[in-house]
Amino acid sequence: ASTLGAAAAEKGRYFGAAVAANHLGESDYAATLDREFNSVTPENEMKWDAVERTRNSFTFGSADQIVSHAQGKGMKVRGHTLVWHSQLPGWVGGLAAGDLRSAMNNHITKVMQHYQGRIAAWDVVNEAFQDGNSGARRSSPFQDKIGNGFIEEAFRTARAADPAAKLCYNDYNTDGQNAKSNAVYAMVRDFKARGVPIDCVGFQSHFNSQSPVPGDYQQNLQRFADLGVDVQITELDIEGSGTAQADSYRRVVQACLAVSRCTGITVWGVTDKYSWRASGTPLLFDNNYGKKAAYTSVLSAL
Ligand code: XIL
């Protein structure tokens, strides 16, 4: 196949990109997206501050634009993200425990019902664990006020809101085996043992020279898959350039393809021009939408 999406589809996978609604009107951006990718993740448009800036008043305009674009092209959509400590409006953190719990459940329910049947997988909870060796939960309004049970509650609420959507836990620095990924692993194992609904684990995979593709990436994906969940590479970008970057991208694709339950890869942007990593060139297309060495390497690995 001659595009990322078609090549991934031949392997039973999808190949997606994070998309920003405000770039869809740029013809090269839309043409590259539509030609190469068969899944999209709204980069910011479904986050809490975008869809419920004011309590119980929902604004879906920009997110709807992305979902309609994707649907029109037959692309899958990953919903990102329902419960996260960041890009959270101030009013949420100001609520007392009981009220926060209802606000969280209301948010999950309203957002998922709005998109019912149109989202393949939701990142229900994003980045709930700390970095470092503690394996502890990260401080957030949800963690600090509702307690450890907030993740389970979010997943149960999500299942009820849209039973057809796959429900994922998503995080970063969990790509290799370490204290943080061990803590996520223990949570997923516990959820599966107790029948808490969870279908997939997302590995963000933001890599750079300080945090390269781990040597045990494939093994780590496999141990999660062995728990009975799908795994997905959800926010891939790799700082660098040339052959080194291309080799790292190839290793990511090979690791996913080697794990039968690794169902797809999403890069965190279409082009270096709009990468959130403003200082770098971490994506597959350059500022002029030219195919980089990393692109060729991914396509031939697929
Ligand atoms: C980033 C977006 O790319 C930026 O545009 C925004 O300013 C901040 O968030 N982990 C995630 C993503 O789960 O939502 C983040 O996206 C990158 C890190």
Name the band, by pLDDT with cuts 50, 70 and 90, for residue 55. very high
Q: How far is CA 148 from CA 73, 195, 203, in A?
A: 40, 17, 21
Residue of 154, 163, 161, 157 whose CA lies nearest to 127: 154
Q: Please report the atom of ligand 1 found closest to the CA of residue 269.
A: 3
DSSP state of 145: I
- Distance CA(264)–CA(262), nearest Å, equals 6
Share of the chain above pLDDT 70, in %: 100
Q: List, chain by chain if needed, residues with CB within 6 Å of any ligand 1 atom.
A: 43-44, 126, 204, 235, 276
Tokens encoding 194: 């107790």
| Measured distance CA(74)–CA(163) in Å, rounded | 21
* Angle (nearest 5°) at CA 299 between 293 and 300: 90
State the pLDDT at residue 59.
98
Q: DSSP letter at 292?
A: P
Give the model's pLDDT for residue 167: 99
- pLDDT at residue 173, as a whole number: 98
What is the model's pLDDT at position 280?
83
pLDDT at 123: 99
Q: Under a CB-based contact definition with an 8 Å cutoff, are residues 279 and 285 in contact?
A: no
Q: Whose CA is nearest to atom 9 of ligand 1?
A: 44
In the reported structure, the alpha carbon of residue 209 is separated from the centroid of ligand 1 by a whole-number distance in angstroms of: 19
Ligand 1 geometric centre to CA of 82 (Å): 13
Quick one: which atom of ligand 1 is closest to the CA of 234?
13
- Taking CA atoms, 174 is separated from 1, 196, 276, in Å, by 31, 21, 20
What is the H or E stretch that residue 222 is in? helix 217-225
Instruction: Tell me which of 81, 268, 272, 283 to substitute to probe ligand 1's pocket, judged by most ligand atoms within 8 Å of the beta carbon.
Output: 268
pLDDT tens sequence across 8-36: 999 999 999 999 999 999 999 999 999 99
Per-residue pLDDT tens for 180-195? 999 999 999 999 999 9
Tokens found for residue 233: 């590479």
pLDDT at 73 over 80: yes
Tokens of 20: 């920003």
Active-site residue numbers? 235
| Atom in ligand 1 nearest the alpha carbon of residue 80 | 14
Calpha distance 110→206 (Å, rounded)? 30
CA-nearest residue for atom 16, ligand 1, is: 43
Distance CA 189, CA 84 (A): 21
Query: Average pLDDT, stretch 276-296?
Result: 95
Integer Cα distance of 274 and 21 in angstroms: 12
Residue with the nearest Cα to atom 12 of ligand 1? 43
Give the nearest ligand 1 atom to 170 CA: 13
Question: Is residue 176 pLDDT above 90, yes or no?
Answer: yes
Pocket test for ligand 1, best of 44, 204, 211 (most atoms within 8 A of CB): 44
Q: Tell me: the pLDDT tens digits for 108-148?
A: 999 999 999 999 999 999 999 999 999 999 999 999 999 99
Residue 115 CA to ligand 1 center (angstroms) comes to 21
Hey, whose CA ends up nearest to atom 7 of ligand 1? 276
* 114-13-226-194 Cα dihedral, nearest 10 degrees: 10
- pLDDT score, position 119: 98
pLDDT digits (tens, 9 = 90+) for 193-223: 999 999 999 999 999 999 999 999 999 999 9
Taking the centre of ligand 1 as the mean of its atom positions, its distance from the CA of residue 22, in whole angstroms, is: 15
Q: How far is the CA of 299 from the centre of ligand 1 (A)?
A: 25
Rounded mean pLDDT of the chain? 98
C-alpha Rg value of the chain to the nearest Å = 18
Q: What is the pLDDT of residue 45?
A: 99
Beta strands in the chain (DSSP E): 14-19, 39-42, 76-83, 121-126, 166-171, 200-203, 206-207, 230-238, 262-267
Taking only the tens place, the pLDDT of each residue in 262-283 is 999 999 999 999 999 977 899 9
Q: From the CA of 36, how far away is ligand 1's center (Å)?
A: 22
Average pLDDT over residues 224-243: 98
For residue 20, the model assigns a pLDDT of 98
Nearest protein Cα to ligand 1, atom 13: 126
